[in-house]
Amino acid sequence: MHTEPTTFSAESYFATQPPPPTLQDDVDQVRKFVEKHAREGRSVVLVTSGGTTVPLELNVVRFLDNFSAGTRGATSAEYFLKAGYAVIFMHRQFSLQPYSRHYSHSTNPFLDFLDIDPPENEAVPPRISVTPNKRTDLLQVLAAYKKVHELGTLHSLTFVTVNDYLWLLRAVSQEMAILKRKAMFYLAAAVSDFFLPQQKMSEHKIQSGKGNLSIEMDQVPKILKPLVDEWTPGGYIISFKLETDQNLLLPKARQALERYGHQVVIGNDLHRRKFEVVFVSKERAKDGSGVSDSFAEDWLRIDLHNNVAAGFAEKEIEEDIVAELVKRHSNWIENSR
């Protein structure tokens, strides 16, 4: 399948690619959530998490994907909730989620935490209990989970394809506009850089009997600029930059800030992302008039040695990432008064 590439702006993308069928229902629920927390004076953060797929057919059999499991997004959402934020958690379907992430199929499988207590007599069925040495950790996670649901501070949305993601991001950010500077965007999802427009897709499964497959994809439009300028003016926006070449990390983070005009880029090296990140932002002008043309680069590191006990990390870098962003966001809000 060979097609000529097309350049999509954000505007032309949304004019030509169809919205997901559940979009309006998702928007209605987000609107209620945002309005509730706006009335209560609470800051709201949109956390995007997990990877997007790129379908190759209209009746999807084959698609492109990436390795993201949503660890950073799910972990960060927990720390934002702990810090008092309301969280809209927009995540890839079946990726990791806050709280339940502690008991994924590969880390702390949940059934390993359960025991079967024999009955006192045959007339009484066996009872299920929590393994004694697992109770403290489980109680801590369960208590936090129950508190969040009691307060109603977590709202979840799912996406699968890059098209789902883009439509949801635009719709949710437009609903968050009423929050003004109390809106934060923590864009941790691993979003595809290329996609196949629906108009160029094969209707049915691509047949393998035709030999080699050649597909030319189009570039996914850059949506940070309209997010900054149009969808949620005044929102505090954090994007992520993942690189495998450390020499590219800082230049590309600076380039993103220059191009899109948002507040922070968090840079990650693929092999060091669990214990080292860098915050790249524009420095404030010395006369206090705004931002200058120079960049501030603040490295954050944690020590991973002896950092795991009974399957639970004693320290997660997301805890410090969120703490730093909460501080910066508070200053951002104060500076608007």
DSSP string, 139-153: HHHHHHHHHHHHHT-
1 assigned to some structural domain:
no
Q: Name the helix (H) or strand (E) containing 87.
A: strand 86-92
- Domain membership flag for residue 4: no
Model pLDDT for residues 267-325, shown as the tens digit of each residue: 999 999 999 999 999 987 655 556 667 999 999 999 876 555 545 557 999 999 999 99
Q: How far apart are CA 89 and CA 115, in angstroms?
A: 32
Name the residue range of residue 129's domain: 10-334
Residue pLDDT, tens place only, 177-226: 999 999 999 999 999 999 999 999 999 998 888 788 889 999 999 999 99
Query: Which residue do the tokens 């805890």 mark?
Result: 319
Hey, which residues does 185 pair with through a beta bridge? Answer: 46, 237
Residue 47 host element (H or E):
strand 44-49
Per-residue pLDDT of 85-107, as tens digits, reads 999 999 999 999 999 999 987 77
Q: Which is it for strands 218-219 and 308-309: parallel, antiparallel or unpaired?
A: unpaired
In a domain, 92, yes or no: yes
**How far is Cα 188 from Cα 46, in angstroms, rounded to an integer?**
10
Answer whether 86's CB lies under 8 Å from 153's CB: yes
* Domain total of the chain: 1
Assigned domain for 262 exists: yes
Which residue, among 214, 202, 185, 245, has the nearest Cα to 45 in the 3D structure?
185
5 occurs within a structural domain? no
Would 98 be classed as within a structural domain? yes
pTM: 0.93
Residue 118 lies inside a defined structural domain of this protein: yes
Q: Residue 219: which H helix or E strand, with range? A: strand 218-219
Question: Does any domain span residue 287?
Answer: yes
For residue 244, give the CATH number of its domain: 3.40.50.10300
Residue that has been written with the tokens 């949305």 in this structure: 157
Whether residue 84 is predicted with pLDDT greater than 70 in this model: the reply is yes
CA-CA-CA-CA torsion for 27, 28, 32, 33, nearest 10 degrees? -40
Which ranges of the chain would DSSP assign to H, the alpha helix? 10-16, 23-39, 71-82, 135-151, 162-175, 224-226, 246-260, 317-334
